[in-house]
Amino acid sequence: MDKDEQLHDELMAAFREYFKANQKWLNENTKRAGMDVRWWLSEIRRICSARRVKIQEWREWKNEDMKQIKAKRKANQNQDKGTPSDTN
């Protein structure tokens, strides 16, 4: 499984656990339930930060990839301009 997919799955699982903990906190209103909710929120923040890093890495890779593609296109266009066209 790709690291990005793994982070997404972890985030979804953490959110489900947060939801359960939050419901318990709202219903029971105990100190322990409040601590659990806060812990899951912290865990969600940690996973979100890791996911943001992966997305930024992808974006940088994609930008570099596009630069290479554009450079190849430009080289091909310049090569085509240097070749005389046959318009007879």
pLDDT digits (tens, 9 = 90+) for 24-55: 999 999 999 999 999 999 999 999 999 999 99
Q: Where are the chain's structural domains?
A: 3-73
- The whole-number pLDDT of residue 4 equals 75
Residue 52 identity (one-letter amino acid): R
Average per-residue pLDDT for the chain: 90
What percent of the chain has a predicted confidence (pLDDT) above 70? 91
Task: Give residue for tokens 């943001």.
Answer: 52
% helix / strand / coil in the chain, to the nearest 5? Answer: 90, 0, 10
- The whole-number pLDDT of residue 16 equals 98
